[in-house]
Each structure stands twice: as structure tokens, then as C-alpha cells.
Structure 1
């Protein structure tokens, strides 16, 4: 099952996966008599009849059950800890690379306060990093095609930074047809060998990629027809923006989500650049008034580029409202326009701060900036295309009234700040989470300010794990959209501003996910 998920083809086996998870988790019955459960407080072994539990299977089971909404406790990991170390079997002093790799993966789906998973994360991460330095550690795992590559990927792209298409592309290349553990499982479940699943994964990846290429062509045409190509003040990033959603919500049926998300995000970037670098505060307030009235004539006296920007928003949002009506059966124009008004209000606040050379307090900055990052605006313009009717009750659990969206926007804003701080200072922009923290704590260094911000991000990402799996009536696809939006921000800003400067690594991701088909392996 884990292999199917990492290959990106688990959606074809949802019934079988549900049956498998239920089998492992729930109390099994035979002839009306309760039998022992596969899953216990101390984890799981190689089989239901096997009383010996091991950290490898327990950690994989814990992670998969938790991510699919089953109530499992992290206490099962305590069974494998002794004297500050983690081992494969309780009471034994041994472990290996795959054991620690599954422990590391399990530790990343932790909730706030799960100390045992904090300890497991630190221990397994250090173990795996050391294994990469000592290549002999991988010798006994020769039946795995590229275990070393799996470890390298896991360390570089942990759970909150590993988007689905990136993981699938890498795992397809690492996937070993002679992986005897995986092969036994797959044959037992489906009476097929590893190559069958690999062939399916390659064919599906290339099929989805071909669909994505056609959609990107649609986006480029829309970008050109809207006049955005001629805007001198903004970043030209339609391909990067489309990648951000295609790498997460990749399935063919989510085309409406991808198109709405990309168009909305493109416009937020244009307006952000307009408000940051181009218009005066007075002009920007007039722009905001035009949005409130929903009337292009309000800005008829402003520059051509400002009018192009407004008309792009006006025409695109009107089109989205019509499309939403077809799938939701109601007019949500006032709801969406209010979201855009709120975004513009935060842009104006930041423009006024900049004009006054004012550095707000940290909390005031974050309260405004978590909206101005525009992730909420983008998500809430696309979420209506998730395939479910969204009632007011559901919207309240995913829009700005919710902790879920708050965490998405908070983590996105703060990780952005950590990588754009120096460039913004050079441009004369004074307000960021880093500068606000230093202003409130004059003795703090830039490194200490960033450490404080990273601490907030780390805790918020754990809370996001909880929001993702918390039982609710919010459709799973809506949760995926929010959660993956947070993940793509962690990817783009993992080293530096991967969006603003579109560095070599991000260009490589775009090439592999959107343009280079996977070759059939012999």
C-alpha cells in the first residue's frame, strides 16, 4: 500500500486499501467470536498471528493509519525505545536503514505534544544522515534498487516539503522490481509482480503529464489574452504557479481546481507587485474602491497597466463565478469579492507601512501578513471546484474563520519571510516577521529571529497534521487542497526564494514534473 501511494497510483485501489486498513486496525471476527487485533498499543508484527512486533512495520502502519483518519496513538513507538535509542525489536540492540527510514517517516506526521515522535525524529534523522556518510550501511540492502536514493530524498524532502508528483517521479526512478519485501506483499494482494505496478505508475504519470501540458497551454493563452505579458512591473511566473498546484492536485478530474487556482494565484502576484512597486497609496485605494463597487470605470483615470490588472481580475472572477454556479448551484460572487477586498486591504496596510517607514509589532504584522500572502485568497477561489457542494458550515471550517486556513497562511507567510528578508531589506521594505521580531527584541540577532520564526512554523505544521486527519464533514479533497498549499510553500522556500528568482532546482522540478515524460524501464 505504501508503495502504491508513493508511486502515485493508490487512487486505483481505494477499495482494497480501505479493506486492508480496516483489517489491520479493527477487531476481526470469525464465526461470531472475537479474534485478536492486528494493531495493538505496542504496534504490529509481520502478521496477525505473529506476537513479535517490529519498528519497521509498526511505524509504517502507524503513519498510514493516521493519515487515513484512524485513531492511533504514538505510544506504540515507545515500545522500541531504550536508553535514548530506537531499535527494531523491543529489548534487542539492533536496527537498520529501512527501520530508521520508516521511523523517520512516521515521526513527521506527529501532532503537537507528541514527545516520543520528537525524539524519534531527531534520532532517525541523525542515523540516516550518518548512513549516507557511511556507504557500507547500504550494502546488505542490495535487493532494494536504490535505498540510498530513498534516504537522500527523505532527508531533503521531508513530509511537509514532499509534494505528490515530486515523490512519485523520484520513487518511480528508485523503484526496484527485485524488492523482495514489496514483491511478496504485492503478489499476495493482487497476484501480480512489481513490474506491473511500475508499468502502471509510468503510464499514469505520463498520461497526467500530457494533460497538465495542455492545461498549461490554456493558462499561457489566458495570460497573453489578458494582457499580462505586457505588464512591466510584475513577475512573469504562470508556469511556476501552475506547477505549484499540478504537483499536488494532479489527478485528471481536478482540472477545474488547477485552472482556477493558477489563474487566481497569477492575479494575486500581479496585484502584490502592483501594490508593492508601482502604484501610489492613493491609486491603490482607488483600485480597492473599484473592487468594492465592482466597476472598472472607477479607475478609468489610472495608468494602462493598472487598468489591465483590474480588468484581468474583473474578467477572471466573473468567469469563475459563472463556473462555480454550475457546480455549486448558487451565486457566490459576493463571497469571493469580499475575499478579494480583504486581500487588497492588507496590501494597502503594507503600502502605508512602507510609506511611513513603519515597523509594526510582530503580532500585528503576522495578523495582516497571513492574509497578504494571498494563499487563502487562492484556495478559496479554487475550493468550490473540489467536486462537493460546500455548505456555509463547511466553508466556515476551511475559510478565514478556521484554524486550518490560518495555519496554511501562517506557515506560508513565515517561510517566505525567512528566505526573502535580505532582498526586501535591500529594496527598502521594512516590515517582515524577521524585522518585526528584531525591532521588538533589539538584542536579538537575525539568526535568533529566524530561529524564533522557524519554531512557530514547526509547531504550526504539527497542528496542520492534526487538521488534516481530524474527523469532520469537510470533504477530503478540500483538506488536501489546503494541506498541499502549505506543503508547496515549504518546497518553494526550502533554501531560498524559489519562486521570486525561479532558481535552478525549482526549474529542474518543473522540467521533470511538467515536461519530461518518464521513460519505460527495462
Structure 2
């Protein structure tokens, strides 16, 4: 190890010691939260698990418990997969069941309550109330002139980027640990480790990206399919976000390959092929026989060859490393994706606007999320058996909710993606057509945001439930949902400024914290 790695390892050991020796429950929680927000928690998984196990069940709705403490406790435990009832917030409500008005002055408590509210599940009215109450009073506080500048910035960040629904690595450099928790002796040590770690990980990501560019260039699809997108950096961002841990380097490389083909095949259906060619291509992918591609145009043959090679390569890797051959499931997933693309192509060719429900049901598949997460499931190799594979093949809620979030955000970002001249249709178009004679319907965009919110609640519930998926797979699903607004957050100039900032923070900028 070189000098930096030795120092890095020494600081990790010191933080492990401090975390294991802390007696104050609140300080333990704050330290865990800080490690997570600075994206260095992966070094301390065992220690954090011990802390959260000790904390689980120790706090209740006692009147002596501070709102900030209780909400932080609630959020950290739910994020880690522990079920904590929303009843613990009852002591902060009045006789009418509303949050007490005097809490409107507790800025730290409101920030923690707002953060906690984003881990709500279906039917948890208390967290819906908490979200509204905290958002209202934090927004009022932000507009006032009474807050200290550091606290005002923290309030703005909380409102705009709640931790659970955003990418920690994107916001880590803005996390002002000193001003928020500067009285703790471990702050400077944690900041120094975060700085070293961030720059080391950035170097690793840069090396991986170079390999991805090399692989994409050697694959040759960008030369053969001139109409298709040529965006290996964007495709790699999905993988780096789903699997940010440095130890998952090889998994990121492999996952980027099917992601790239989702984009390329999407462009074939949207831009490149006639309806007859697309039907033949879909049939060929479903049959998955070399002889079935003879009638295809040359560019489709080239694409199918790349698809076959990558699917075989990933299947061999999973078989060798985990003892399970996923080729049947992966081929079926590609066939399903092409069928969904073909349905959309037929709708557009016939100028048919489908029912919004039919559009979204098909859009879950055409989003590519079920296919990508199926590949990720096998690459992780955790809990592989007949029952879990059967479950994955049927797009369970953990997968479909993530897909709904992507599909709806994609449709909200109405700007065309780079180089795309095709047409996918959109949920909003279908919804407005379906309700064109109903003047009482809510704003289509508000309706879509409500659907996205509901999908997040279902996703939160799936992450807390006992199902066939490992914590790593659940985290990856959440991370994909988290990056979606960045990927489709077009501004009026049809560019993606927040995504560009994310790329800079991941790959280009050193940090000092």
C-alpha cells in the first residue's frame, strides 16, 4: 500500500474504535448519519449495524424525547431495513391529531421530521402530515431573515434534496459537518477520511470509465448504427449510481453493457426501423436462433450479434461465479423488452393514443428497468434459487415501482433526448386524451407527481418487507429511482444541468470538505 492508502486505513481503524466506544445514543446516531451522508459508511457496515441494533426499540414516544432525536432514529432505522411504527410521533400531536404548533419553531426537529417523512409507506397518514407540516414551516423559515446563514443553507438543502430520495455522493461535498456538528471531537477525523476516500474513489471511477469507452469503441455499434445514441458516459452513470461501492467495480463494468443495448435497441424501434423490420427483429429476439436473423437488415443483424455475445458472456460469468445459468431468463427479458417497444411502435404508426393504464403497464417493461435489474440480480448472485428467479421473471413490486418512477419522470422530461427524432408517446398525452371532456380533472403534471409519490411509498414498503431480495439489490433499486430525476430533468434549453453537475462531482472534481 502507498502512503495515502496507509493513512486511509489508519483513519478507518480510528473511526471504528470511536464508533464502538461512544456512549451517547444521539451522538452515535449523528455519527452514523454523517458517515452515510459523506459516503464513507461502506467502510463501517458492521459497526453501524451494531449501533442500529442497539438503538432499535430503545426510543419511544416519551414526552422527554426530542423531535430531532426521534425523527433521526426513525429515519436511520427505516433506511437500514428495520420497521419502526409511525406511532412514535403521536406525542408530538395535539388532541385533534395534528402536529403541535409549537414545533414550528424547532428548525432542527422539522428538518429531521421532513427527512423522515420521505420513508413513508402506503397508508401512513402520519408521515403525510409530517411532510406537509415540516415543509410548510421550513419554507416559511427559509424566507425569514432570522436564521443563521449556515442553518438557512441546511434548510434549503433539506427541502430541495431530502436524503432518502437523492444521491448521497452528489450532495456529500455540500454537507457542512463542522457547522452542524462541530462540537464533536471526531468531526475533523471524519472529514479528513471523507476527503481522502472521495478522491480515491473518483480515481477508480475514472479508470473504469476509460475501460467502458474502450469496450464501446471495440464493440463497433456506434460506427454501424449512426442513428443511435453514442453515450457510454451516460450508460455508465446508471451502473455507478446503482452500485457505488468500490468493491463492485467488475459488476459496474458488466452492468453497463446491457444498459447500453437498451438504449441502442430503443433507438432502433424509435428511429431506425420500419414496422415490418421491427416485427421481424422482435420475432428473432424471442426465438433467439441465429437462423432467425437471416431476413433482417444488416444493422439489425449486427445488433443481434452484439446482444447474443453480451448475453452469453454475462450468463457464463454468473454460472462460473454463482453456479446458476441465467441465460433463459435474460433472453426472455430481452424478448419482453422488444415486444413492449413494438407495441409502442404500433401505437405510434396507427396514431392510436392508448388508455393511460395500458400505456403505463407497457411502459414499465419498455423503461428497461426490469431487464436491467434482472441482470443486476444475477450478477450480484445473492439468494439465487428457483423461487427467487421465478419471482424476478414476473416483475415484482420492487422492480415495477422503480420502473414506474423512471417511466413517469421520462415522460415529464418532454424534451427529446440527444439525437432522437422518434416518438415514444407519453403518459401525460394518454391521460389528457382520456379525460379531454372532463374539466374537473387535476393538472396532468400534478397527477403524475402523485403517481410518482405513490410509487415511492410502495418502493419503501418493499425495501422493508421480507422478500426474495438482498439488501444490496434493494439499495441498487433505490439508487436507480434516485438518479431518475437527474437523467430526465431537462431545462428549457433541453439540457441536463443537474446531471452535468453530478458528473463533475463524481469524475472531475477533487473535494476538500
Q: Is the 8 A contact 2:378 2:384 kept in 1?
A: yes
CA RMSD of aligned residues (A): 2.7
Gaps of 5+ in 2: 1-31
For residue 218 of structure 2, what is the aligned residue in structure 1?
A: 225
Match of 2:448 in 1: 453
Q: Cα–Cα, structure 1 residues 240 and 274, in superposed 2: closer, same or farther, change >3 Å?
A: same
Distance 1:309-1:166 versus aligned 2 partners, 3 A rule: same
Shift of 1:274: 0.7
Indicate yes or no: 2:158 matched with 1:163: no
Shift of 1:202: 1.5
**Distance (Å, rounded) in 2 between the aligned partners of 1:461 and 1:389:** 24
| Number of aligned residues | 478
* 1:8, distance to aligned residue in structure 2 (A): 1.1
Comparing 67-76 with 386-395, greater Cα deviation is found at 386-395
Which of 203, 207, 213 is residue 210 of structure 1 equivalent to?
203
Closer, same or farther: CA 72–333 of 1 in aligned 2, 3 Å? same
* Residue deviations 1:238-260 (CA, integer Å, cap 9, x gap): 11221223134211121233122
Counterpart of 1:361 in structure 2 is: 355
SS of the counterpart of 2:116? helix
**Residue 347 of structure 1, aligned match among 341, 348, 351:** 341
Q: Distance in 2 between matches of 1:93 and 1:408?
A: 34
Q: Answer with 510-519 or 391-400: which moved more.
A: 391-400
Report the equivalent of 2:126. Answer: 116
Quote the Cα distance in structure 2 between the aligned partners of 1:449 and 1:473. 35
* 2:78 maps to 1:104: no
- Map 1:42-191 → 2, pairs under 5 A: 42=61, 52-82=64-94, 86=99, 95-138=105-148, 146-159=150-163, 161-171=165-175, 174-176=176-178, 179=180, 181=181, 183-184=183-184, 187=185
Asked if the contact 1:132/1:148 (under 8 Å) is kept, the reply is yes
Secondary structure class of the residue paired with 1:310: helix
- Secondary structure of 2:443's counterpart equals helix
State the Cα deviation string for residues 257-294 of structure 1 (Å, max 9, x = none): 31222211111011001111110111112222332343
**Partner residue in 2 for 1:12:** 43
Question: What's the secondary structure of 1:431's corresponding residue?
Answer: coil
Q: Structure 1 residues 464 and 430, CA, compared in 2 at 3 Å: closer, same or farther? A: closer
> Alignment partner for residue 236 of structure 2, among 231, 242, 245?
242
Work out whether 1:39 is the aligned partner of 2:66: no
Map Cα deviations across residues 11-32 of structure 1 (whole Å, 9 max, x no partner): 2222322222222224xxxxxx
Task: State yes or no: 1:318 paired with 2:336.
Answer: no
Check if 1:265 corresponds to 2:259.
yes
Q: Within 2, Cα distance between the matches of 1:64 and 1:491?
A: 24
* Deviation at residue 399 of structure 1 after TM alignment: 4.3
Instruction: For 1:439-518, list aligned pairs within 5 A.
Output: 439-443=433-437, 448-494=443-489, 502-518=495-511
Match of 1:142 in 2: none
- 1:137 is paired with a residue whose SS is coil
Q: Determine the structure 1 residue equivalent to 2:3.
A: none
Return the alpha-carbon distance in structure 2 between the equivalents of residues 155 and 183 of structure 1.
25
1:259-408 aligned within 5 A: 259-296=253-290, 298-300=292-294, 302-408=296-402
In structure 2, distance between residues paired with 1:420 and 1:303: 31
Cα distance in 1 between the residues matched to 2:245 and 2:118: 25
Any conservation in 2 of the 1:370–1:409 contact (CA below 8 Å)?
yes
Structure 1, gaps ≥5 residues long: 27-37, 44-50, 140-145, 188-192
SS in 1 for 2:146: helix
Q: Per-residue CA shift, 1:472-498, capped at 9, x if unaligned? A: 352111111222222221332345599
Q: In structure 2, do the counterparts of structure 1 residues 422 and 277 end up closer, same or farther at CA, with 3 Å as the change threshold?
A: closer
Q: Any idea what SS the aligned residue of 2:230 has?
A: coil
The offset of 1:384, in angstroms, is 1.6
Q: Tell me, in whole angstroms, the C-alpha distance in 2 between the residues paired with 1:101 and 1:333.
A: 47
* Alignment partners' CA distance in 2, 1:275 and 1:117: 42
Contact 1:397 1:474 in 2 (8 A): no
**TM-score scaled by length of structure 1:** 0.84
